[in-house]
Structures are given as structure tokens and as C-alpha cells.
Amino acid sequence: MARHLGSGWMTVVRHLQAPTFPERQGRHETGKSLLTPAQERLLPQWNARGRAVRRLCQDLQPHGSTGSDATVAREAPRLRHAQGLPPRE
């Protein structure tokens, strides 16, 4: 059952043992990112300092970003697409 649903087996066990069907909760901050506080600095840094994720992350942290290198890396394809650049391989 877990494999069919794409869930962990313990999740299925918890659902089966629950007295009622547990409703799925949506995200509370839809559309917000850990990069939201530094959003206005992200694109200028991207253009001026190059596209090195680690450098971007280090530049944004003093300006309120709590995002990690991985968070900035997930944002990079969107920035590349917005500028008409081809995806990295």
C-alpha cells in the first residue's frame, strides 16, 4: 500500500490507526521563500558578482537571508530562465 501511494510505510500505519482520516494541511506561507527578505538584492548580486551559488549565499546572509546554499541553488534555474539563459547541464 505504501509503495502504491508513494508514502513511507509508517505514514500508512499511522493513517490506518487514526480514528478519522487525517486531512492534509497546506503550506502556511505559500509563495514565500527563505530568500524573500533578500529578494531585491538577489538579482543584482546574480548579475554583478557572477552565478556562484556559495558566493551569492554569503553575500545575501548579512541582508536577512536565512537560506542555505541549497536554497539559493534551487532558485538559480528560475533566475536563469527569467533572463533567457539556457539551463545548466
Count: domains in the chain: 1
Q: What is the pLDDT of residue 31?
A: 63
Quick check: 44 and 36 in contact, CB under 8 A?
no
Residues 6+ apart with CB under 8 A from 11: 2
Asked whether residue 12 carries a pLDDT value surpassing 80, the answer given is yes
pTM value is 0.48
> Does residue 41 form part of some domain?
yes
Which 3-state string (H, E, C) describes 27-68?
A: CCCCCCCCCHHHHHHHHHHHHHHCCCHHHHHHHHHHHCCCCC
> Does residue 20 form part of some domain?
no
Q: Would you place residue 32 in the very low, low, confident or very high pLDDT band (cuts 50, 70, 90)? A: low
Q: What is the mean pLDDT of residues 25-39?
A: 66
Largest CA distance in the chain: 56
Q: Which domain does 66 fall in, by range? A: 36-83
